[in-house]
Amino acid sequence: MKPKHNPAQTCSHVPDKELSLHLEKEQHLPPLAAKIYSLLILSNAEALTFEEIKDLTGASKSSVSNQLNFLIEEGRVDFIFKDDKRKRYFKTKRDYFKKTLELHLKETDKEINILSKIIQHKADQDFNKKLVSIFKTHLENQKKNILETLNTLKETSHNIDTYEK
C-alpha cells in the first residue's frame, strides 16, 4: 500500500516563495495563481487535491477555484482523477518549460519589433548604428535559439509520448 503524502511537506517554502515571486514578475501571473503554480511545480507529490492547495495557500475556496480555473485555461495546470472518481488532483502540465520559452519568444519578438521601429524612425538621424546592430543581432540570435530549443522539446516530448504509450 502506497503511503499517503503529507501536504504540509509537499515542498520547501523558501523556493516556493522565490518561484512564486518570479512567476508574478516574469510571467505576469496573479499572486495567488503564482503561489498555486509554484506549489504544484515544487510538490513532491504527483498531484495535489483542491483541499491540499487551499490549506497550503490559506486562501478561500472561491479564490483557489478561480485561480485554478485561470491556470487551467492558461494551459499551465491540468487535473486527473484517481481512485475516487469525484476528487480532482491538480498538477502542472508537462510542458512547463515549453510554456516558459514561448513567453520568452513573445517578449523577444516584441523587443525586435520595437527596435526595428526605432531604427526606421532614426534612419536619417545620426545615431550609433553599430551598437543598435549588435543588440539587434543578439535578439535575433536569442530568438533563433529559443525556436531551436522549442523544436527540440517538441521532438523529445513526441518521443516520450510515443514511448509511454
pLDDT of residue 38: 93
Whether residues 100 and 86 share a domain: the answer is no
Residue 41 makes CB contacts below 8 A (sequence gap 6+) with 19, 92, 96
Q: Give residue 162's pLDDT.
A: 45
Q: Which residues contact 64 (CB under 8 A, 6 or more apart)?
A: 32, 36, 50, 53, 54, 57
The pLDDT of residue 2 is 47
Other C-beta atoms closer than 10 Å to the C-beta of 78 total: 16
The sign of the dihedral angle between the CA atoms of 10, 60, 78, 92 is negative
Count CB neighbours of 66 within 10 A.
Answer: 15
Predicted confidence at residue 158, as pLDDT, reads: 61
pLDDT attached to residue 75: 87
Q: Which residues of the chain have pLDDT under 70?
A: 1-14, 157-165
In a domain, 60, yes or no: yes
Q: Check whether residue 50 and residue 107 sit in a common domain.
A: no
Q: What is the pLDDT of residue 159?
A: 53
- Provide the domain count of the chain: 2
Residues 38 and 111 in one domain: no
What is the value of pTM for the model shown? 0.68
**Looking only at Cα atoms, what is the longest distance across the chain?**
75
- Identify the domain containing residue 111 by its residue range: 96-164
SS3 content of the chain, % helix, strand, coil (to 5): 70, 5, 25
**50 exposure class (CB count in 10 Å sphere: 0-12, 13-18, 19+):** middle
Are 62 and 108 members of one domain?
no
CATH of the domain at 52: 1.10.10.10
Domain-located, residue 2: no
pLDDT at 4: 53
Q: Are residues 13 and 45 in the same domain?
A: yes
| Final residue of a structural domain among 64, 92, 120 | 92
DSSP lists the bridge partners of residue 98 as none
Q: Answer yes or no: do 56 and 100 share one domain.
A: no
